[in-house]
Amino acid sequence: MTAVGIDAIELWSGKLRLDLAETFAPVKGEDPGKYTKGIGIEYSSLPDVYEDIVTMGANAAKQLMDRKGLTPEDIGRIDVATESAFDNSKPVSTYIAGCLEQVYDGDFHHANKGERKFACLSGTQCLDDAYNWIRAGRNRGRAALVIATDTALYERGDPGEATQGAGAVAMLIDEEPDIVALSTEQGYGSADETDFLKPNQQFPSVDGKRSIQVYLARMREALEDYESVAGDTHPEDFVYFPFHTPYPGMVRKAALLGYRHITRDTEIEDALADDIGMQPREENYETREDYEEAIRAYMDELKGTRQYQEWYEQAIEPTIQVSGQVGNWYTASVHLARLSALRAAASEDVDLAGEKMLVGSYGSGAQAEIHAETVRDGWREGVEGLDVDAQLADRYDLSFEEYELVHDVHNHQKEVEVEEFTQPEGEFVFTGWGRMNERRYEYVE
Ligand code: COA
């Protein structure tokens, strides 16, 4: 069967940054360690006044098309994933196509465009749609452009404010891809939940503590569902485990639970037994409460074992490096985690071709999805050319007063005039509103 998967990746970060330890923590009266160690984010990327989900998505897509030497005719679909849309009817993909048509010969008139919604999961659902479209033989030899783009802003003072972020990831989905091939096997964990939602409002209503429990419960269901079709998973089957990363602290919790699950009934559980005992089995406990308490005690011990820590350093830590520098990019976050791991491997000169990753996506509301990806021969070239370090280093460092202005500029309820902090160059920018309240964009040389 022809491999189908991700042939190219590019990202575009918001051009401003908020330093959580130096700038945010003192104003909040919090210990900086809460953000850098507990939550795990050093900086949030934020959009400059001329940036939004369209400019960031279009800029990432243009970088991708330029690097791959593509023309509009090579693209048969443009799917955008976002939970920051500003229009309930016109999809962001039409705006992005309009931007790209300003700079390329030809057009996207015969490309199918859409917008997917399921909180942070929808980027992965767009990959599914592209995969299925290609597998069904409906692509006429063309590739799909998937763009996950978000301005993840919270109400000022909401606990989520510490996890904000803004940026886009563009991915090209094609046959015989250069970076990873997607597995046909998938697992789902899905339930009607009220953990994070935006009922016709810009900033989310969040039950942060509950969202942690829902994330873990749905991921576990998805893993069990994945194993029911792909067979049991073992830590050594996968080189990395990129998970949806609302903030690295969340992934730390998921990783520990996941490790317990995938080491149960393996030689690793046996090897750990002398030090921390065997994993609790529910049938050995009289009540559910007793069983859950035993699980918590086992997990506390497991966290401190050499085996777990080595696995975490090698299989999880590389996936959260970029997230810790940019914050939550919602729909793009799991795709940043994959990219983060591939970049870490490239910088350490690890040979990944043929290795597998287990990718866990999650969207509040809530649904988790788990699938495997096989790294392809062209992965190194595919990630080495990216300008991630330069983009992150070039961000303008905001003072707290400037951050307050930036938050207001992007608040749909407010009208404030603020000077831009950076100078746009070789990129799409937002220029204002048209007569039907549409947003307008142009390319700045
Ligand atoms: N040094 C090290 N760690 C510290 C610390 C310090 N000085 N101070 C606090 N911490 C740790 C806490 O122990 C906690 O870690 P734990 O959960 O492993 O115990 C972490 O930092 C966060 O502290 P907490 O007091 O829980 O923060 P909070 O009440 O302000 O809320 C969130 C944190 C994540 C719930 C909040 O940011 C939020 O609602 N985020 C949006 C929702 C979200 O992203 N949900 C995820 C699922 S998609």
Nearest to 51 by CA among 171, 182, 149, 119: 149
Query: Residues near 155 by Cβ (< 8 Å), separated by ≥ 6?
Result: 161, 203
Instruction: Look at residue 243 in the predicted model and tell me its pLDDT.
Output: 98
Active-site residue flag, 267: no
Q: Say which residues have a Cβ less than 8 Å from residue 91's Cβ, sequence separation at least 6.
A: 80, 85, 113, 114, 115
Expressed in angstroms and rounded, the spacing between residue 17 Cα and the centre of ligand 1 is 20
Q: Whose CA is nearest to atom 42 of ligand 1?
A: 208
* Residue among 28, 30, 34, 369 whose CB has most ligand 1 atoms within 8 A, to mutate: 34
Q: Is residue 212 lining ligand 1, measured as CB closer than 6 Å?
A: yes
Q: How far apart are CA 241 and CA 255, in angstroms?
A: 8
- Name the residue of 28, 39, 193, 253 whose CB sits within 8 Å of the most ligand 1 atoms, as the mutation to test its pocket: 39
Catalytic residue among 10, 42, 51, 83: 83
Quick check: 224 and 187 in contact, CB under 8 A? yes
- Residue 293's contacts (CB-CB under 8 Å, 6 or more residues apart) are none
Distance 5 CA to ligand 1 centre (A): 34
What is the 319 CA–ligand 1 centroid distance (Å)? 19
* Candidate list 115, 120, 410, 427, residue with the active-site label: 120
Catalytic pick from 244, 335, 407, 410?
A: 244
pLDDT (tens digit per residue) in 162-189: 999 999 999 999 999 999 999 999 999 9
Does ligand 1 have an atom closer than 6 angstroms to the CB of 160?
A: yes
The answer, yes or no, to whether any atom of ligand 1 lies below 6 A from the CB of 209, is yes
C-alpha distances (whole Å) from 418 to each of 49, 166, 198, 405, 440 are 7, 18, 26, 7, 18
Q: Measuring CA to CA, which residue among 191, 202, 165, 192 is closest to residue 83?
A: 202
State the pLDDT at residue 1: 87
Contact 307, 267 (CB under 8 A): no
Q: What is the pLDDT of residues 107-146, one digit of tens each?
A: 999 999 999 999 999 999 999 999 999 999 999 999 999 9
Total tally of structural domains belonging to the chain: 1
For residue 410, indicate whether it is catalytic: no
> Which structural domain range is residue 414 located in?
4-444
Q: Give me ligand 1 centre to Cα 25, in Å.
A: 13
Residue 353 has a pLDDT of 98
Q: Based on C-alpha coordinates, what's the Rg of the chain?
A: 22
163 within ligand 1 shell (Cβ under 6 A): yes
**Which residues lie across from 439 on neighbouring strands?**
433
**Domain CATH code at residue 255:** 3.40.47.10
420 catalytically annotated: no
Instruction: Answer for the pair 320, 248: CB distance below 8 angstroms, yes or no.
Output: yes
Q: Which residue's C-alpha comes closest to atom 3 of ligand 1?
A: 38
Give, for all 445 residues of the chain, the pLDDT tens digit.
899 999 999 999 999 999 999 999 999 999 999 999 999 999 999 999 999 999 999 999 999 999 999 999 999 999 999 999 999 999 999 999 999 999 999 999 999 999 999 999 999 999 999 999 999 999 999 999 999 999 999 999 999 999 999 999 999 999 999 999 999 999 999 999 999 999 999 999 999 999 999 999 999 999 999 999 999 999 999 999 999 999 999 999 999 999 999 999 999 999 999 999 999 999 999 999 999 999 999 999 999 999 999 999 999 999 999 999 999 999 999 999 999 999 999 999 999 999 999 999 999 999 999 999 999 999 999 999 999 999 999 999 999 999 999 999 999 999 999 999 999 999 999 999 999 999 999 999 9
